[in-house]
């Protein structure tokens, strides 16, 4: 039996992002994101209700400063007490898992979406996705970018403006472009 484009996407295989099911999923997310971003700061109940519809797994005490953007929302898992400052973006073409007590500075981008490296294959239009995991008690400094397939361990501090291209072990300070471990924190 042939796999759907959604199944291929979640399995890390080449997939067609223009598939009707995937387009509908992104359209749904765009509507919910627009509604969320337009809510009043004081309307905590409406914000939580919209996040509950948008995010696949939503912990308690999550606070996302608008504007926030994502591809699908349904493939995002947010632990308890996650905080994201203004302008955060998550391209969740596959699972993006963020642990408890994680904080993002402004303009942090998390990309699970990627494309073939071979130009001849890339111009045909297929896309790829690789999961991203961010461990509990991690701080990601403003303007940082986390690329597809990366795992960041628990208790990590990522310096502002970093480009995280490789896995980061637990309890370290890491920064730079490309991001590298500066020192242990324990």
Per-residue tokens: 82: 């996650």
Q: How many CB atoms lie within 10 A of CB 79?
A: 21
- 109 catalytic? Reply is no
The alpha carbons of the chain give a radius of gyration, in whole angstroms, of 17
pLDDT tens readout for residues 37-92: 999 989 999 999 999 999 999 999 999 999 999 999 999 999 999 999 999 999 99
pLDDT of residue 171: 98
* Structural domain that includes position 13: 5-184
Question: Are 163 and 49 a contacting pair, CB within 8 Å?
Answer: no
Supply 2's token pair: 């042939």
Q: How many domains does the chain have?
A: 1
Annotated active-site residue in 69, 100, 109, 115:
115
The CATH number linked to 179 is 2.160.10.10
Residue 71: the pLDDT is: 98
pLDDT tens, position by position, 112-137: 999 999 999 999 999 999 999 999 99
Measured distance CA(47)–CA(155) in Å, rounded: 28
- Maximum Cα interatomic distance, the chain, rounded to a whole number of Å: 50
């Amino acid at each position: 039996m042939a796999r759907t484009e959604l199944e291929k996407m979640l399995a890390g295989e080449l997939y067609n992002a223009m598939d009707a099911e995937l387009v509908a999923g992104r359209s749904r997310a765009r509507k919910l994101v627009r509604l969320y971003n337009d809510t009043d700061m004081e309307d905590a109940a409406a914000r939580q209700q919209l996040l509950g519809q948008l995010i696949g797994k939503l912990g308690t005490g999550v606070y996302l400063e608008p504007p926030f953007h994502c591809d699908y929302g349904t493939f995002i898992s947010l632990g308890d007490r996650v905080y994201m400052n203004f302008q955060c973006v998550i391209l969740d073409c596959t699972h993006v898992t963020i642990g408890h007590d994680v904080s993002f500075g402004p303009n942090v981008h998390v990309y699970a979406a990627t494309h073939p490296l071979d130009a001849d294959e890339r111009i045909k239009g297929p896309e790829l996705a690789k999961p991203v995991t961010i461990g509990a008690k991690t701080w990601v400094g403003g303007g940082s970018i986390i690329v597809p397939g990366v795992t960041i361990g628990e208790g990590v501090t990522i310096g502002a403006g970093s480009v995280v291209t490789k896995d980061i072990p637990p309890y370290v300070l890491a920064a730079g472009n490309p991001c590298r471990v500066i020192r242990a924190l324990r």
